Amino acid sequence: MQALKFLRPGRVAPFTKVTWPEPGEWLESDAPPELCRAGVHALLPDVLATWLSEELWRVELDGGEEVAPGIVVAPRGRLVARVEAWNDETAREFARACAEHVEGSPPGRAADCAADAAASAEGAAADYTATTVGYMAAHAAEATAPGGFAAERAWQSRWLAERLGVARI
């Protein structure tokens, strides 16, 4: 199956620190796939906003299974191609879009979170700083209405998938 993967610079996995091999070469796990424990992990477009990192790649998974919403795990996977559209410029666009989406939030915590998002948007880059803005905006949405956090994250992920051209993988 096709999926997406955010990596640190140099194709390094953000949590395990494993360096993925060159595109086309398989990365294999020596243990049966298990969420957050073992196996090659990747994303579906629905959850992109939560996991931003410096590099975004299209990946191919052999025997992948969705084990949590938007998260797929497989015994092996390989990089197909880097998504060049994900860069500092589009990251800032994303951050601005997140902040604008919660502009005009009601006074109190919602407005405070929205203001934080707006204040941080211009400094966002293609790393955790962009996802932090999305996180603040999602909190503004949650403070506005229960369930707003998840709804905002879903909107942000759709925005990213469309903008980066990875809505259909």
- Which residues make up the interface to other proteins (CB under 8 A)? 14-15, 17, 34-37, 50-53, 68, 71, 128-129, 131-132, 134-135
Q: Of 33 and 77, which has the nearer Cβ to other proteins? A: 33
Q: Of 79 and 136, which has the nearer Cβ to other proteins? A: 136
Burial class of residue 84 (count of CB atoms within 10 Å of its CB; 0-12, 13-18, 19+):
exposed
The nearest distance, CB 34 to other proteins, in angstroms, is 7
Q: Of 20 and 51, which has the nearer Cβ to other proteins? A: 51
Spatial separation of the C-alpha atoms in residues 75 and 53, rounded to whole Å: 23
Rounded to the nearest 5°, which phi and psi values hold at 28? Answer: -110, 145
Q: Of 23 and 154, which has the nearer Cβ to other proteins? A: 154
The nearest distance, CB 131 to other proteins, in angstroms, is 4
Helices (H), the chain: 88-101, 109-121, 128-144, 148-164
Spatial separation of the C-alpha atoms in residues 77 and 40, rounded to whole Å: 6
The nearest distance, CB 13 to other proteins, in angstroms, is 11
The nearest distance, CB 132 to other proteins, in angstroms, is 5
Q: Of 34 and 162, which has the nearer Cβ to other proteins? A: 34
Number of neighbouring beta carbons within 10 Å of residue 125: 15
The nearest distance, CB 98 to other proteins, in angstroms, is 12
Spatial separation of the C-alpha atoms in residues 152 and 70, rounded to whole Å: 15
